[in-house]
Every structure is written in C-alpha cells, then in structure tokens.
Amino acid sequence: MIFLVQYDRSKGRLVEIREFADSERTEAENARLALEQSLNRSRVDHEVTLLQAESQEALRRTHNRYFADLRELIEDLASSTSTFVVRERKE
C-alpha cells in the first residue's frame, strides 16, 4: 500500500491520510503534487509525503509521529528510555 499523508507540524496532528494500491503509484504521486500545489497556493504549511507499508497498522508502527499526539509520543519516549540499561563492560 502507498499512503499519502498530510500532517500539520505546528499542531502536531494528522490532517489526512489516503491509501493507494501499489499499482497506483502514478496516481499517488499526482495526488501528492496536486495537494502540495493547493496547499502552497493557500499558504498552508503542512508536510505532505508518500509512504509505503504493508498496512496502515505497519505504518503506525514505523511512523508513529504522524498518528500519536504529543502526550503519547512523550510516553513512548519515556518508556523506551526507562528500559534502556547501560551495562559496564568487564575486562
């Protein structure tokens, strides 16, 4: 699957996500370009990108920042750093 993602960085939120089959790459690229042009004409500063993944669930695992709110991202960061243990090398 190919995903067209529109993300508002200033608000930290996903605006839109559209799915395309892998065979629709040209349509996805054209949709991305049209969206970027429309946003630029409107002077809207959003991130627009195409991402490829097996499913939206897989995309959520690899690109969580597009789907999680700030609180969730902080919690994820806190939990990942709390499980990190530095071990001293014995010689």
Is the pLDDT assigned to residue 20 strictly greater than 80? yes
Question: Contact, 26 vs 70, CB < 8 A?
Answer: no
In terms of Cα–Cα distance, which of 16, 11, 12, 43 is closest to 32? 16
> Where are any strands of DSSP class E within the chain?
2-8, 13-20, 47-52
Record the pTM. Answer: 0.74
Q: Return the pLDDT at 6.
A: 97
Q: Return the pLDDT at 68.
A: 77
In terms of Cα–Cα distance, which of 20, 15, 29 is closest to 66? 15
Q: Which residue has the higher pLDDT, 32 or 71?
A: 32
Is the pLDDT assigned to residue 90 strictly greater than 60? no
Q: Tell me the per-residue pLDDT of 48-86, one tens digit each, with 9 for 90 and over.
A: 999 999 999 999 888 988 887 666 666 666 666 655 555
The mean pLDDT of the chain is: 85
Q: Return the pLDDT at 10.
A: 86
- Domain spans in the chain, listed from the N-terminal domain onward: 2-82
